[in-house]
Amino acid sequence: MVHGVMAWIDERIDLSGVRHFIAEKGVPVHAQKIWYYLGGMTLFLLGVQIATGILLLLYYRPSAAEAYESVQFIVTQVPFGWLIRNVHSWSANLLVAVTFAHFFSVFFLKSYRKPRELTWVSGMLLLFLMLAFGFSGYLLPWNKLSFFATKVGTGMAGAVPFVGGFFLRLLRGGDDVTGATLSRFYGLHVAILPMLTTALVAVHLLLVQRQGMSVPLLVEQELKAGTPLRQMPFFPNYVLRDLLAWYVALAILAALALFYPWELGDKADAFAAVPPGIRPEWYFLAMFHTLKLLPSHILGVEGERLGVVVYGAVAVFLVVVPFLDRRASRGQRSPLFTAVAVAGLVYFVVFTILGRYTG
Ligand code: HEM
């Protein structure tokens, strides 16, 4: 049956190129091969987000008057609505965590070195998009915590020099966080970000397929010395391993959704007192805590403003890392960039923990 359908399609659009590609594609086998699974896991969780997000969309209402009530309706009245919302919330957090893990693993392995610079750049933009998904989605249930956290978060955007005021009003749809902000965040979350993400994931995966998987520098040196490359067939050997990992991830997601339901909290109220312990999602905590620790003025410049500028510079630095690390592109070790990655990882972990427990 499947064979017949394939033959029918093959007669109309020649699939021999695709068949040949799948039959020939191999995945390198070496001590670091475990890290190859993270990109596929990111892709899987993104798929879970799209599927559950579309289901939530059928009942969610993006207005200040109805958003909170519609989420309440989803989790109490809609059959399996609670499961879909819990999986969407948990999977969002796992997605960001796995994207960070993928980012750090390719950083440490220097997979960004020539000729994979553009794979890195597209990946880095995807990481920013994942963070934007998290930031915009946080406000959608329109509860107290997300309302006030969005006030603080968009306030930080206002600290960007020169264009901060414009940026703040663009995000909020006015001077304050209101129903207009909710409409904008909704548009971002369900239309603009998915569109950009789809395009970038397509570019990212196309590049990965064109170039094949990189091997660590050490393995590359052995290859140059004449050691043959050990590979495993992509189909079915590697695909089956990927599927197994996704199956385990699905089981973990289901367990989390069942045993740790995502809280909805109280409905947002612009006139209520700011509740204690306002903080953003965990992946913004390091930045949030750093900005909080800065003195009000540094060398005559507002501390928060300076912090936001430094964060912007770090983001630009991360995008262009492959073009700065020339040693790695020449196939040499580049301890300076390894040190940068270690420092970044330690800073991120320590400040996230500090932000969580001392904020
Ligand atoms: C939505 C986010 C992302 C998705 C869906 C995704 C997906 C993938 C997949 C499926 C692979 C092939 C398997 C693997 O090497 O793990 C891959 C490879 C790669 N990704 Fe990503 N990725 C994402 C984000 C990122 C980020 C944030 C970076 C780093 C800035 C990045 C950089 C790379 C690089 C350099 C490779 C090539 C690795 C090699 O050839 O060894 N990706 N990605």
How confident is the model over 83-110, as pLDDT tens digits? Answer: 999 999 999 999 999 999 999 999 999 9
Share of the chain above pLDDT 90, in %: 94
**Closest to 71 in 3D by CA, of 154, 133, 142, 3:** 142
- Ligand 1, atom 16: closest residue by C-alpha: 39
Tokens encoding 157: 């955007």
pTM of the model: 0.96
- The answer, yes or no, to whether any atom of ligand 1 lies below 6 A from the CB of 200, is no
CA of 40 to the centre of ligand 1 (A): 8
- Report the C-alpha gap between 206 and 18 in whole angstroms: 13
- The answer, yes or no, to whether any atom of ligand 1 lies below 6 A from the CB of 204, is yes
Q: Per this entry, what is the length of the chain?
A: 359
- Report the C-alpha gap between 136 and 284 in whole angstroms: 13
Average pLDDT, stretch 154-165? 94
Could you give phi then psi for residue 289, rounded to 5 degrees?
-70, -40
Best residue among 27, 37, 42, 319 to mutate for probing ligand 1, ranked by most atoms within 8 Å of CB? 42
On whether the CB atoms of residues 138 and 281 are closer than 8 A, the answer is yes
- Scan for tokens 């978060």, then name that residue: 153
- The answer, yes or no, to whether any atom of ligand 1 lies below 6 A from the CB of 116, is yes
Largest separation between any pair of C-alpha atoms in the chain: 74
- Report the C-alpha gap between 71 and 78 in whole angstroms: 10
DSSP summary character for residue 188: I
- The answer, yes or no, to whether any atom of ligand 1 lies below 6 A from the CB of 156, is no
Average pLDDT, stretch 158-172? 95
